[in-house]
Homo-oligomer: A and B are copies of this chain.
């Protein structure tokens, strides 16, 4: 059985859907759900969800359309005290931001999506500075020139997880431009995940936020 990106104890079971048939996904999903855990299927097209829903096996399964994720919550996780800001440069970055949001939430994290605050209009970003400076960790999602991660990183003193997106055309080279920008960030405290990988950014941010809150609750 394949659950490509498996997360550790207390976390949801995860299925990465591309390259699998509906039949394979349903089979894996059922097996994982049977353990009583929460299940998250990422990069799932809507027709995958429909096939899954039609089986009638999973009462509360839902489809997060923008995030392209299938979510089955069987165990409620207590929500984090501190919300993780998920900041995007433009509306076109939303699907990646949504994948991050859904992933973080099924892992018990509160989130706040701050959309369309790209660096060409600094005033929009600056109006959110207080919120960013209060966070334990921030996710920044940006395509094209990807400069948002550096600017955010320069404004705060918490770790920033940067997600380059493939949004753009021409010399954006499918996200390479934003990826290189983020890797070369002058702002210390910025680390980077794969292009369009909202899932991994959310897991990383969750690991950080959870460690902080667990330490605080001892």
CB distance B166 to A194 under 8 Å?
A: no
Oligomeric state, in copies: 8
CB<8 Å pairs between A and B, sample of 21: A8-B157, A18-B92, A119-B119, A120-B185, A144-B185, A146-B184, A159-B208, A170-B175, A170-B183, A170-B184, A170-B194, A171-B175, A172-B184, A172-B194, A177-B181, A179-B183, A183-B192, A184-B194, A188-B203, A190-B200, A215-B215
For A154, give the chain B residue with the smallest CB separation: B120
| Interchain CA distance A86-B63 in the complex, whole Å | 36
A196 CB within 8 Å of chain B: yes
Q: A5-27, CB under 8 A of B: which get 1 and which 0?
A: 11111000010101110001000
CB distance B2 to A115 under 8 Å?
A: yes
Most buried by B among A154, A161, A184: A184
A136 CB within 8 Å of chain B: yes
Q: A148-164, CB under 8 A of B: which get 1 and which 0?
A: 00110111111101001
Question: Which residues on A are within 8 Å of B, measured CB to CB?
Answer: 1-2, 4-9, 14, 16, 18-20, 24, 89-92, 115-116, 118-122, 136-137, 144-147, 150-151, 153-159, 161, 164, 166-197, 199-201, 203-204, 207-208, 211-213, 215-216, 218
CB distance B170 to A91 under 8 Å?
A: no
Given contacts A119-B154, A183-B177, A215-B216, contact A193 B195 (CB under 8 A): no
